[in-house]
Structures are given as C-alpha cells and as structure tokens.
Structure 1
C-alpha cells in the first residue's frame, strides 16, 4: 500500500515539475518574449561596441602621444575647418533658366528633390 502511495506521489510531482518546465519554455518562446530578448541582446551588443570604440580611441590617443614624443612633434596643429552647419557652401555651376523668368539661375550642387524618393 505504501509503495503505491509513494509512486503515485512521485509521479504526480514529476508531472507537476514537467508541466511547469514546459509552460516556462512556452512563455520564453512567445513573439513578445523573443522580441524583448532580441532587443536586450542588441542593447548589450551596442554597449560592448561602444566600449570597444572608446578603448580603441583611447589607445589611438595614447599611441599618437607616444609617437609625437619620439618624433619630437608634441603639439598637434589645428585641423582645417570643415564645412559644417552654418558654413557657406561655394556656389555651384550656373545654368540658364529653363524659360521661367522668376526662377533662379543658380543650381545648388547638393540640391535635393524630395519628390525623387516617392
């Protein structure tokens, strides 16, 4: 009698354990859970990539300083100013207007037509 009660209890416990395990696995495989896991892994990868880039940049600065000491060029000249926001762009080639007297004859070299993408 006790044997049957023991095996019945052991079987019930094994069934509850297996059911719990399967339900947890199913919950981890839902689309929402998979999306959250992918997002977390992407964020972690981004942090690792940023840390790597910062380490490389620090190593570059250190190595440039070492080379500057060895070569005797301890000061860095200021880089040439780049065309950033707020700076004037040199005028591009001028073309005649296409029959519209109100239209400007200046064609900007970096013009962008928003309708080209559609």
Structure 2
C-alpha cells in the first residue's frame, strides 16, 4: 500500500510540475511577450552600438592627436606669420553645367493601386 501511495504522489507531483512548466512557456510565446522581448533586445543592442560608436570616436580622436604630435601639426602658430588660406578648388574659368548620365531604366507608368 505504501508503494502505491508513493508512486501516486510522485506522478501527481510530476504532472503539476509539467503543467506549470508548459503554462509558463505558453505565456512566454504570446505575441505581447514576444514583442516585449524583442523591444528589450533592441534596446540592449542599441546601447551596445552606442557604446561601440563612443569607443571608436574616442580612439579616433586619440589617434588623431598622436598623429598631430608626430607630424608637428599641434605646434603653436607664430602670430607674425600671415594666415595661409587653402581653397579646395581654384576656379580659373566657369565650369560648364554637368549633365547627369542617362540610365537605361524605363519607368513603367502602371500603378498597381489603380485597380482597387
């Protein structure tokens, strides 16, 4: 009799445990729960991406400072020297207007929303 009671109790406990586990998993797979999990993961990914960008920017500015020191670009400017201006493009004569290249694309005038 004791053996039957033990196995009956063990079976009932396993059933309760399995039911609770299945219900918990079902609640995790509802659309609201999946959306919340996706939003949380997107926030975490955004924070990691922001931290990465800040680290890159810091390393870039540090390396720029190192290169400036190595090349002597950070040297103090003598106020007696005239300021030298750099122009990206020196225009001797006006440029002709540029034409955009023709593409071989043909645009279809069919609007699929017209029929609705």
**Which bracket does the TM-score occupy, shorter chain normalised?**
0.5 to 0.7
Q: What TM-score does the superposition give when structure 2 sets the normalisation length?
A: 0.64
Counterparts of 1:26-45 in structure 2, within 5 Å, are 26-45=26-45
1:66-98 deviation per Cα after TM superposition (whole angstroms, max 9, x unaligned): 0000000017xxxxxxxxxxxxxxxxxxxxxxx
Structure 2: stretches of 5+ with no match in the other structure: 76-116
Runs of 4+ in 1 over 6 A off after TM superposition: none
Counterparts of 1:15-30 in structure 2, within 5 Å, are 15-30=15-30
Q: How big is the shift at 1:49?
A: 0.2
Tell me what 1:47 maps to.
47
Tell me what 1:61 maps to.
61
1:1-45 deviation per Cα after TM superposition (whole angstroms, max 9, x unaligned): 000000000000000000000000000000000000000000000
Q: What TM-score does the superposition give when structure 1 sets the normalisation length?
A: 0.63
RMSD: 0.8
Structure 1: stretches of 5+ with no match in the other structure: 76-118
Tell me what 1:95 maps to.
none
Please state if 1:6 is matched with 2:6: yes
SS of 1:5's equivalent in the other structure is helix
The 2-side partners of 1:74 and 1:45 are apart by: 38
The 2-side partners of 1:72 and 1:25 are apart by: 64
The 2-side partners of 1:32 and 1:74 are apart by: 56
The 1-side partners of 2:5 and 2:28 are apart by: 35
